[in-house]
């Protein structure tokens, strides 16, 4: 019974870390999509705004974020190249709106 209790405590304590890891991965995916879209959508981003976004939303000790962001940016950039004209229009329209809402667009 003691072993089960210790295991349960470990699972409960790991849950917030797993939730934080998921949030970090999701943020890397979402930001990666916006960043990968800069050139294909003919946008120009304010680098200070991107830095401020990361300072505000990414934990300083999150060592996985940069790698996830690079992976997502590369993968989404590849996907954008294969989009139809209509899909790219829809994608770029929403990315432009998101980028403006966060102050990324110059």
In the chain, where the domains are located: 2-101
Q: How far is CA 65 from CA 8, 16, 27, 49, 61, in A?
A: 28, 17, 9, 18, 9
- Give pTM, 2 decimals: 0.79
- Give pLDDT, residue 106: 82
* b/e burial code for range 16-33 (CB count within 10 A of at least 16 → b): eeeeeeeebbebbbebbb
Q: Is pLDDT at 19 greater than 80 in this prediction? A: no
CA–CA–CA angle 32, 37, 38 (5° rounding): 105
The pLDDT tens digits for 50-96 are: 999 999 999 999 999 999 999 999 999 999 999 999 999 999 999 99
The pLDDT tens digits for 5-15 are: 444 445 444 44
Confidence grade of residue 3 (pLDDT, cut at 50, 70, 90): low
- Give pLDDT, residue 17: 53
């Amino acid at each position: 019974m003691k072993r089960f209790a210790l295991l349960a405590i470990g699972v409960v304590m790991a849950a917030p870390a797993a939730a934080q890891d998921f949030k970090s991965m999701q943020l890397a995916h979402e930001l990666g999509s916006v960043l990968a879209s800069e050139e294909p959508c003919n946008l120009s981003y304010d680098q200070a705004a991107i830095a401020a976004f990361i300072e505000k939303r990414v934990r300083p000790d999150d060592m996985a974020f940069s790698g996830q962001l690079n992976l997502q940016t590369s993968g989404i950039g590849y996907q954008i190249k294969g989009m139809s004209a209509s899909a790219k229009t829809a994608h770029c329209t929403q990315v432009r709106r998101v980028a403006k809402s966060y102050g990324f667009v110059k």
